[in-house]
Chain A
Amino acid sequence: MAKFGASISEIRFVSATGIASVCVLVGAILLFLLPRDDPRVMQLRQTAFDIFLPAIDALGRPFIALRDTGTQVSQLGGLRAENDRLLAENEALRLTINQMTQSQFLMQQYRALLDLPPEPGIELFPVRVVADLSSPFVKTLVTKGGKNSGIETGLAVIGTNGLIGRVISSGVQSARILLLTDFNSNIPVVALASDVQAILSGRNNAMPELQFVPRKAKLKEGDLIVTSGRGGRIPIGLPIGLLRLGAEGEPPKVELLDDVQGLIHVRVVKSVAVETPPNIETSSVSRKAKR
């Protein structure tokens, strides 16, 4: 019996090996057949996320809850100090909000005087991150919420302090965010203090680089880098990071305001039309067509 069983298992072993070898071959062929940035592949990924999102979400929750608990426990210790700090920060923020509201009102008045159409407002739409696919290959996040929540491709996404990336594809109930640090990310930005326009390109590390800086531009260390709103759907003025000048001959880098690691909650930025202030007529000035 043993002899027979053994020979059968041997035969089976051989055929299983054969199948496995074929699989290896197929894998190798696939690997060198399809390049990664094929739009069809991107579509496939988006669809897969749509399908498996519930499972991924469900599996991840306990771990995230655990992590949050851990964070909370460690925070309990410095609770009182934290409270004081937050109160102070709150005061300062209230002041800033007042100032900003005033400025915004003034801006609306000026725009009306100049016959400009009202500036689009910004709506922040919170979404939860379900998967962080940051790896040596790519820097993207997956969120729960897609077209069903009004998340469209191209919208900017901010974290706690600033811009972290934008939506690169959106399925029905999930969306993928291309982080600023990814190789494929190129965002038009402006350095606030020196008013220099450039493109922020990810380098698959923590600090993206500024490219296409005009030759005679005078950049200042620590300057705030914000979105310039040029050429696309990303609104102007979203803070991104601080300028860090590199060594001679090296492109300047940007230290991001937001740590893109470990984000759970992010916000998608949507532009909405603002209601015109009452009693101020604005003529229909044709806006420059999107080139």
Chain B
Amino acid sequence: MNPLRRPDLRAADGGSLWLVPYFVLAGFIFLDGLPVDAQWVSQIELGLFLVPIFFIAISPSEHDFAPLGIIAFGLLNDVLSEAPLGYWAFLFSFFYLLAMGQKGVLQEARVSGVWGNFLVAILITYFAGYLIALLREDMAIDFWLYLLSAFLTALCFPLLYLPLGWMENQTFSDPLRRGDD
């Protein structure tokens, strides 16, 4: 069985573990402001918070109102990171929508498939971010560094996604809940 197979995260069983990705998301938003030593790093917009969003998006959970939480976190990121209000709110929601579209397809996918999908989604999202920056006069983005940011984030994807998936697998390894067997 695919260790990455997404179990149902319904809150009825397992308590409030469905909140974990949200906490990770919040954590990354807060950590975004970590003082780092190198100038070039500050130019990179690592989107690590997109990983838990991806996780939430493709989980077969019943939380239809998850998008509302996502956009709220997006606004929080805007406020804390000095980006224009609505920038990350829009990009989070956009990314979520993209990921949601793949939900069905990714249920039985292999690691590489999910990863590849994440890469594509993140590239499209970053590209959208770049287009927005072009339209606004108060944002100066270096195209190549931005692209690099997207690839670096994608590179970090398995590091974050696997632990999340494993944790939930351990909790939900109830034979009755083994997907659609």
Taking the nearest CB of chain B, how far is it from the CB of A206, in angstroms? Answer: 6
Residues of chain B lying within 8 A (CB to CB) of residue A48: 76, 79-80
Q: Do B79 and A16 have beta carbons less than 8 Å apart?
A: no
Q: Do A135 and B82 have beta carbons less than 8 Å apart?
A: yes
Query: Interface code A14-42, partner B: CB below 8 Å = 1, 0 otherwise?
Result: 01110111111011111111111100010
Q: Do A55 and B89 have beta carbons less than 8 Å apart?
A: no
Number of A-B contacts (CB under 8 A): 161
The A165-204 residues at the B interface (CB cut-off 8 A) are: 183, 204
Taking the nearest CB of chain B, how far is it from the CB of A23, in angstroms? Answer: 4
Closest to B83 in A: A137
Q: Does B159 contact A (CB under 8 A)?
A: no
Q: Do A23 and B68 have beta carbons less than 8 Å apart?
A: yes
Residue count of chain B within 8 Å CB distance of chain A: 56
A93 CA / B122 CA spacing, docked (Å): 53
Residues of chain B lying within 8 A (CB to CB) of residue A45: 79-80, 82
A129 CA / B33 CA spacing, docked (Å): 10
Residues of chain B lying within 8 A (CB to CB) of residue A67: 37
Taking the nearest CB of chain B, how far is it from the CB of A245, in angstroms? Answer: 22
Taking the nearest CB of chain B, how far is it from the CB of A9, in angstroms? Answer: 7
Closest to A5 in B: B180
Taking the nearest CB of chain B, how far is it from the CB of A128, in angstroms? Answer: 10
The B4-45 residues at the A interface (CB cut-off 8 A) are: 26-27, 30-39, 42-43, 45
Interface SS, A side = helix
Q: Does A4 contact B (CB under 8 A)?
A: no
Q: Do A19 and B33 have beta carbons less than 8 Å apart?
A: no
Do A32 and B31 contact each other (CB < 8 Å), given the known contacts A2-B180, A27-B71, A134-B42?
A: no
Extra pairs beyond A19-B67, A52-B30, A63-B34 (7, CB < 8 Å): A12-B64, A20-B67, A20-B100, A41-B85, A45-B79, A48-B76, A137-B140
| Interface set of B (CB-CB < 8 Å, partner A) | 26-27, 30-39, 42-43, 45, 60, 62, 64-68, 70-71, 74-76, 79-87, 89-94, 96-97, 100-101, 103-104, 132-133, 138-142, 180
Q: List 22 A-B contacts (CB under 8 A).
A: A13-B103, A15-B64, A16-B100, A20-B67, A20-B100, A22-B67, A23-B68, A23-B71, A24-B90, A24-B93, A27-B90, A27-B93, A30-B75, A31-B84, A31-B90, A35-B84, A35-B138, A37-B138, A45-B79, A60-B33, A64-B35, A263-B35
